[in-house]
Structure 1
């Protein structure tokens, strides 16, 4: 789709996508922040808004009223599946669902075991009220080192593999913000032409246990070994690491769920080390012998090179682009100061917006769609 046509399509949808402004943010003039009015942004940051937790209705009628656009949306070339691990800030999660909602899109939530009962009830209500929302039954104790992160994602992949209509799947975390509309997201993913979008870099030796066996037979990788060649059955993984976030083709997800069984591999990777969640997808992506759909060559990682990706934008400690100057685990926590440049960034997801106010402003009242589309 051309830039002009994409902008026209977004503008046509603007009247059907309206986000409810919270009283706490109603005074904020979104257009001035989008235009990078530095004096105005400085004024707003001097008196930062805190969102008050509300007792909101969770009936199906109310949920549909808040989430489903009032006008019929134009069809997508293909739907997008969202696999998101969540644990807190339900209203933020609902805002994210609303911003990406389309009948062709599907959404899976894997709830961390640490989440409280009220949060669990709210997430389960979404699955009850929307046919394109599912929630995994399994609960894992996920930590900042990444333990059980990929176990949780795998449960979502199993549920989403049989859902019809979607072409790509996004791996997401609790405080990720979609910074592209549903139409922009599909237009970007369509350009991949079936390739997976995975961040790849060499994997440090301490990220996996070298005493374990990593060949297909030892991992009991293939569900039906008759579908694998002798070379594949005897082949071993090529290790890499990268971001947890990724955009996976439907064919790749089908392979991960229906052709192979990742259970043993997940358990063997779940060692007492930091960042173990960053190994699974990059390793599968460059393990040429197993030929996962959408993979690419291992030559770059073997040469010590890093492959970037378009799925996620994140800023690490010391990066001057982080206008909020706030970091958690060395990752920028975006503030209202980052709103303008994030709205123009070419990537799909921003990680991480720990301040729900930013999400509220990104979702504003439809003006955001209009303003962004003018720049396309």
Structure 2
């Protein structure tokens, strides 16, 4: 059985239901009825038509999409069941549509490294990994120590199927806004520098990310504007962020509870008179810079100093990359660099018109009404996604993304690299 079986059955269920509900809700969209009704009739067998209408932002499609999404059964970790069974790797790779050959010489000659920190939602991790996977790249997976044993075993079983995917040799109990999140990346970097794959840039991802740009477009972006340069958007630490490094913070972990809290003890100034910057925790770093991070006294001292600060991954990378003489540094850079598309709550009405899903920690978890905004974004990746809450968002996005990837290929495309329904549409239109 395909891991996506529950999703496909959900589309079958919604097919007839959505047509009836569409007629009831159609009075305000008469001009779109014929096109959308045709698309929804195929919903049970070919969800791509509904997805295309959603990417175009058709109002009737948004109505129908929400109704269909409600009809879908709850997303479950189907992969967990499979990976604990006796299924073999070739079946898994085939059913999850992993691309097993470099799609162009350009990509083959510019391998990337990925650090992926995960702790839940195996179905989302499999979608993400299948999307960003390329055989010339290398992937370090950091599994949170808090993750359930069965989850840990399933991910290890998955990674054993690939020569270029491995589990970090040291695992952390990751706490939101704590030093452990930064240490998890460092752990993977210590492993990646010993990889036989001569990667050019390393990119970090979390389990609720998804790519917007193809591997080829990412390579072209890094080769052109950021060739030999680190990408760490940020600015000098603003006044309203100084609380993060003014006092000592500690991590509290007990069973399922984990958080960071401030103490009343003031913190000393950064070592070596380093000027602190503030920026995104997401990056694209050169191999030489990673070597610097792991070996330079200043980098090591700043890392030690950062252990009791709040969310140190939002000052560590950007601060080191603003230091003169550091490999690939950008001392005068600002917020430029399209690393991650995020809809922040406080940017509503400024950089975006609102969140179609819901906010968690002031970050939008995308709903289907955000698909058009996502596909028009100039960023390489987007955050956040939750297939258990909004299954159509990730289902549509991965189909849309895979078609873009395969259309850019310079090699013969294999049938199983398509989703089955997309293959029939592309080959026999």
TM-score range, shorter chain: 0.7 to 0.9
1:272/1:25 CA distance change after superposition, 3 Å = farther
Please name the residue that 1:30 is paired with: 51
My pick for the range that moved more, 354-363 or 258-267, is 258-267
Please name the residue that 2:375 is paired with: 343
1:255/1:25 CA distance change after superposition, 3 Å = farther
Flag the structure with higher helix content. Answer: 2
Structure 2 residue 98 is the aligned partner of structure 1 residue 68: yes
TM-score with structure 2 length normalisation? 0.69
**Quick one: distance in 1 between partners of 2:102 and 2:146?**
38
Q: Is the 8 A contact 2:117 2:205 kept in 1?
A: yes
Unaligned runs of 5+ in 1: 1-18, 216-234, 301-305
Q: Is the 8 A contact 1:67 1:97 kept in 2?
A: no
Please name the residue that 1:250 is paired with: 287
Please name the residue that 2:221 is paired with: 188
Instruction: Give 2:340's match in structure 1, choosing from 303, 312, 316.
Output: 312
Unaligned runs of 5+ in 2: 13-42, 247-265, 409-429
Once the two structures are TM-superposed, the CA of residue 150 in structure 1 deviates from its matched residue by 0.8
**Quick one: distance in 2 between partners of 1:364 and 1:181?**
12
Flag the structure with higher strand content. Answer: 2
**Quick one: distance in 2 between partners of 1:144 and 1:349?**
21
Which structure ranks higher in relative contact order (CA pairs < 8 Å, sequence separation ≥ 6)?
1
Structure 2 residue 232 is the aligned partner of structure 1 residue 198: yes
1:149/1:96 CA distance change after superposition, 3 Å = same
Secondary structure of the equivalent of 2:278?
Answer: coil
Please name the residue that 1:352 is paired with: 384
**Quick one: distance in 2 between partners of 1:72 and 1:193?**
21
TM-score with structure 1 length normalisation? 0.78
**Quick one: distance in 2 between partners of 1:96 and 1:260?**
36
**Quick one: distance in 2 between partners of 1:150 and 1:40?**
41
Alignment of 1:229-308 (within 5 A): 235-259=272-296, 262-271=299-308, 273=310, 275-288=311-324, 291-298=325-332, 306-308=334-336
**Quick one: distance in 2 between partners of 1:70 and 1:211?**
50
Once the two structures are TM-superposed, the CA of residue 347 in structure 1 deviates from its matched residue by 0.7
Once the two structures are TM-superposed, the CA of residue 248 in structure 1 deviates from its matched residue by 0.9
Once the two structures are TM-superposed, the CA of residue 198 in structure 1 deviates from its matched residue by 0.8
Once the two structures are TM-superposed, the CA of residue 129 in structure 1 deviates from its matched residue by 1.6
**Quick one: distance in 2 between partners of 1:368 and 1:340?**
16
User: For this pair of structures, how many residues does the alignment match?
Assistant: 327
**Quick one: distance in 1 between partners of 2:369 and 2:174?**
30
**Quick one: distance in 2 between partners of 1:130 and 1:118?**
20
* Higher Cα Rg, which structure: 2
Please name the residue that 1:224 is paired with: none
**Quick one: distance in 2 between partners of 1:88 and 1:31?**
29
Once the two structures are TM-superposed, the CA of residue 283 in structure 1 deviates from its matched residue by 0.9
RMSD: 2.7
**Quick one: distance in 1 between partners of 2:164 and 2:81?**
22
